[in-house]
Amino acid sequence: MEKKNIDWSNLGFGYQKTDYRYVSNYKNGAWDDGAIVTDDTITISECAGVLQYAQTVFEGLKAYTTQDGKIVTFRPDLNGERLEASAARLKIPVFPKERFVDAVSKVVKANAAFVPPYGSGATLYIRPFIFGSDPVIGVKPANEYQFRIFTTPVGPYFKGGAKPITIRISDYDRAAPVGTGNIKAGLNYAMSLYAIVDAHEKGFDENLYLDPKTRTKIEETGGANIIFITKDGKLVTPKSNSILPSITRRSLVYVAQHYLGMEVEEREILLSEVDDFAEAGLCGTAAVISPVGKIVDHGREICFPSGMEKMGPYTQKLYDTLTGIQMGSVEAPEGWIHVIE
Ligand code: PLP
Ligand code: COI
């Protein structure tokens, strides 16, 4: 298979249309068989549930080319599981996780020419989503839905790749205490748009949200979970019911404990204790691990000893091990790597 003529190493995190997408429609109480299609457009009613009441959930994962030339995905079963949970919370019919994994494989295989080569620094981002497609005007769930997956080749989420970023404590919340912060719903991201534009205008790379109930504890950023490293090399990451259960974070916790022999604490983290940490990083599919050099809390600067030039040593080890597992140079735990071809 011949790869597309793309300048892989200079890709940013943007949308570029690829040749194929996967579509399955839900009608009369059942999902149809689904198929790979070429049409990248969707025609729906002006009154569709997704357009009126934001009834939509999504996922994000990546396909990688490994060192020995295979195309693989990383723990797609967990994305399938999380999409089931997200759908259930918004009264969207569940698309079964086994079918999800199969659909991901099919759409990646169809778009193999767009999977960036090993060593290019780019990957194929996979965006599965479900939306209410038939008209609703009273506030209620739609009756019909579409599950769709498109793919797009991407580079680093933050400009500069592995360079430490600066984030600020947000004055807005992204989640309610017993809301939808723990699922991957489009509405959570709509909530964050005002704050992210404002952050960028003021020179910050991302917003760090506090717990919406007491505004004293660290939660996560608009598009990633957060990890900290203590001065004695322990990984500490927030435990909260209103953050997204990041697959990258869960994998890093395992890597820290089982590959790097690090101690891990998943617990509430007060904003007031962040000054004591040695390193910080944002973790997620898009972010991978993006080192944080500085957190700004209303003018007060929290500068991590790891600095603004490069990742701290523990973050680097976590990054190397995780990406090594994803790209096949480090042996993966059983079941983490799903070979497509
Ligand atoms: N938190 C938010 C708000 C996200 O959008 C993402 C991205 O998916 C994550 C965390 C990281 O989750 P994952 O590691 O499963 O990609
Ligand atoms: C992902 O990491 O897959 C996400 O969905 C985050 C988004 C901000 C791009």
pLDDT at 162: 83
Judge if the beta carbon of residue 290 lies within 6 A of ligand 1: no
Ligand nearest to the CA of 81: 1
Is 328's C-beta closer than 6 angstroms to any atom of ligand 1? Answer: no
| CB proximity list for 151: less than 8 A, separation 6 or greater | 18, 21, 63, 107, 108, 111, 114, 124, 125, 126, 127
Where along the chain do its domains lie? 8-154, 165-325
**What is the model's pTM?**
0.97
Query: Per residue in 308-330, is it b (16+ CB within 10 Å) or e — as a string?
Result: eeebbebbbbbbbbbebbbbbee
Q: How far apart are CA 79 and CA 82, in angstroms?
A: 5
pLDDT at 20: 98
Residue 312 in contact with ligand 1 by CB distance below 6 A = no
Is the minimum distance from the CB of 286 to ligand 2 under 6 angstroms?
Answer: yes
Residues paired with residue 148 on neighbouring β-strands, in sequence order: 23, 129
* Local mean pLDDT, 10-residue blocks, the chain (341 residues): 94 97 98 98 98 98 97 98 98 98 98 97 98 98 98 91 93 96 98 97 98 97 98 98 98 98 98 98 96 97 96 97 97 98 82
Question: 73, exposed or middle or buried, with CB in 10 Å at 0-12, 13-18, 19+?
Answer: buried
310 vs 320: CA distance, rounded Å? 14
Question: How is domain 8-154 classified at the architecture level of CATH?
Answer: 2-Layer Sandwich (3.30)
CATH 3.20.10.10 is right for the domain spanning 165-325: yes
246 CB within 6 A, ligand 1: yes
Task: Give the pLDDT confidence score for residue 159 in this predicted structure.
Answer: 80
| Cβ partners under 8 Å of residue 113, min gap 6 | 1, 2, 3, 4, 19
| pLDDT computed for residue 246 by the predictor | 98
Instruction: Using alpha carbons, list the distances in angstroms from residue 200 to 137, 148, 287.
Output: 36, 31, 17
Ligand number nearest to the C-alpha of 13: 2
Centre of ligand 2 from the C-alpha of residue 158, in Å: 11
In order, the DSSP letters of 100-157 are: HHHHHHHHHHHTGGGSPPTTSS-EEEEEEEEEE-SB--SSS--S-EEEEEEEEEE--S
